[in-house]
Homo-oligomer: A and B are copies of this chain.
Amino acid sequence: MKERIYRIVEKGAHGSKGNLIFDYAIMLLIIANTFAIFLETFPSISSAYKSFFNLFEFISVIVFSIEYSLRLYVSDLTYPSSSRTKSLLKFIFSPYAIIDLIAIIPFYLPFLIKIDLRFIRILRMMRFVRLFKISRYNSSLNLIWIVIKEKKSELTVTGFLAFLILLVASFLMFHVEGNVQPEKFPNLFSSFWWAISTLTTVGYGDVYPTGVGKIIGAFISVLGIGVVALPTGIIGSGFMEKIGNKKHDSEYCPHCGKKIK
């Protein structure tokens, strides 16, 4: 019986028909949840179908709770380990199980704790994390993940350099524009917001330099190209490396004929 449940709820395990139906049903429910979240933000729809949305939320949480419980139940098959407790802990603290739990817990919280409902509304945002479950079903993102992980140090350094540029630029801009446009650059944080908007080449146009500040603005705009070029080059070379590795997989020494890699 347990084996059977395992085959159905844990994907990738056996790829049976039951497993497929289960996976698609859960995915469909996740997508429907996202739609409901979107529609609920329209005041007219939200008030007209309030009871429907409440019902849907109720059913969704029930289904997700059952799913979580089942996965918890078969965790010793998913994570074969020395003891039952170890398997349980391994499952509970696996990234996806944490996301699954956070996705259902806000529903149970209001009954437990008596706090301001507006705070709960912000907590409910977490319900959105439910979406991330879709990614569990996609194994293709593995390569992207590996490339980013392998290039982590270069990307971090690039990010750090960009952060230093942002700090220096926002500081300079604050001292140049702080007195000219005090309502746009009241403090260093406003100046930092401008710097990010410029370096990432978003350029909303809510804050922009005038006069001498344009010189700093021009420099940051130009550096913004580098801030795009560096990570792109790093990631590109990371993907190339992966391909290269795959290609050289079966290389032989020209001297002794033995396999090298």
Contacts and interface: CB of A to CB of B under 8 A. Distances in A.
Interface string A126-137: 001101101100
Interface string A214-237: 100110011011111111111111
A138 interface: yes
A203 interface: yes
B233 A239 contact: yes
A97 interface: no
Copies in the complex: 4
A188 to B, nearest CB: 4
A174 interface: yes
Interface string A174-198: 1100100000000111011100111
A95 interface: no
B125 A175 contact: yes
B206 A206 contact: no
Interface residues of A, number: 86
B258 A255 contact: yes
B229 A232 contact: yes
A175 B106 CA distance: 16
Given A38-B189, A202-B203, A255-B258, 12 more contacts: A37-B171, A38-B188, A121-B175, A135-B160, A141-B157, A192-B218, A200-B222, A201-B201, A201-B203, A204-B204, A240-B240, A253-B255
Interface of A: 34, 37-38, 41-43, 121-122, 125, 128-129, 131-132, 134-135, 138, 140-141, 143-144, 147, 153-154, 156-158, 160-161, 164, 167-168, 171-172, 174-175, 178, 187-189, 191-193, 196-198, 200-206, 208, 214, 217-218, 221-222, 224-244, 247, 253-256, 258, 260
- Rank and list the top 6 A-B pairs by shortest CB-CB distance, nearest first: A233-B236, A233-B235, A205-B205, A237-B239, A202-B203, A253-B253
